[in-house]
Amino acid sequence: MAAQLKKTVKPSSGDYTSLEACMNANEQDLVSNDKYFDVEIDGDWTAAADSSAVTIHNYTTDATRYINIYTTAAARHDGKWCATAYRLEMDTRVINSDSVSNIGLSGVQAVKTGTGTGNYQDAVLYQNTVDSYRAWDSNIFITRATGGSASAGIRLPYEARGLFTNSVFIGYYGVYTIGYFRATTTQSYMNCVFIGTGYQGFRKSGDSNRSVRVINCYAVGNGGQAAYVIAGTTHIVITTCASDDGSCSTSTVAYATDSGAYFTNVSSGTEDFHIGASSDFIGAGTDESGVFTNDIDDDTRSAWDIGVDEYQAVGGGLSIPIARHHRRLMGVS
């Protein structure tokens, strides 16, 4: 049985003060060393963001000797961009996951602050191509690029394979993916939100062969562009998804705080995709509990709403603790 290799990334008193230093220092063949690698991001990050780009490469993994990068409750965002939680923030590309499989990434915020218009101004470049993979869950990836081909919250070049759940992708394109040439389904987006700030929300380019699944997701396009655009061969499965324009036969749901989605905030830069009680998304998704059961807040999904948030009815009234035993007072019989 593989042994745990665990390192911590914290603003102080941890093994590392940046995720990049952690990933760089521990590059190894985890299979030969028979280890799985837990990277725990912890602590209060109010004072400063992690400002160093992360390149994850030069690891050898398999299904049981994997890499799991996660934030603790103390370092995790609250379902929207959070300036006190762990965040990667810089002018350049933030994360390059370079052909390493079996990486899990959970609860991470990443923003590329540069507003350039050149091509490939993506915040996250995901190049993991091996059959087995672990979910990237509850992440928020943003690029502030204002132009350029493939300038996306996340970009996936040819043959990238992965599973993305409960995540927000904001960019000139929200997501830009090429797809895959194999006959199996290998790239899945479940309960995600894609916002194209200047172009398309979700774009699949190029020819592929039934490789991409989009389930329970919501997309918005801008600049006269559609929310979902599927170019090349149309081997993609879109199930119980919605958009602001009904593109790709998705349900039309307004990107608004007072109708349709009933998002908490749709202002650029302060987006909050928690939904209100009247949201069209409630119960409109497909049950994917065989794959995952949580939402971006780690609440358990039950009705299977579309998007990152599973609506939680706010309880009212008094909370009255009930004593389970009749207790005697000291000195009183």
Residues that bind another protein (CB under 8 A): 7-10, 12-18, 20-22, 24-25, 27, 51-53, 55, 57-58, 92, 96, 98-99, 120, 125, 157
Closest distance of CB 128 from another protein, Å: 12
Tokens representing 38 are 């837990």
DSSP code per residue over 88-133: EEESS--EEE-S--SEEEES-EEEE-----SS---SEEE---SS--
Closest distance of CB 38 from another protein, Å: 14
User: Closest CB to another protein among 7 and 235?
Assistant: 7
Cα separation of 259 and 8, whole Å? 43
Per-residue H/E/C for 182-239: CCCCCEEEECCEEEECCCCCEEECCCCCCCEEEECCEEECCCCCCCEEECCCCCEEEE
User: Closest CB to another protein among 70 and 255?
Assistant: 70
Closest distance of CB 11 from another protein, Å: 8
User: Closest CB to another protein among 7 and 76?
Assistant: 7
User: Closest CB to another protein among 43 and 285?
Assistant: 43
User: Closest CB to another protein among 13 and 319?
Assistant: 13
Number of DSSP helices (H) and strands (E) in the chain, helices first? 1, 26
Q: Are 281 and 264 in contact (CB under 8 A)?
A: no
Closest distance of CB 77 from another protein, Å: 22
3-state secondary structure of 314: coil
Question: What's the distance, CA 148 to chain centroid?
Answer: 22
Closest distance of CB 182 from another protein, Å: 17
Closest distance of CB 136 from another protein, Å: 19
User: Closest CB to another protein among 34 and 78?
Assistant: 34
* CB neighbours of residue 291 within 10 Å: 13
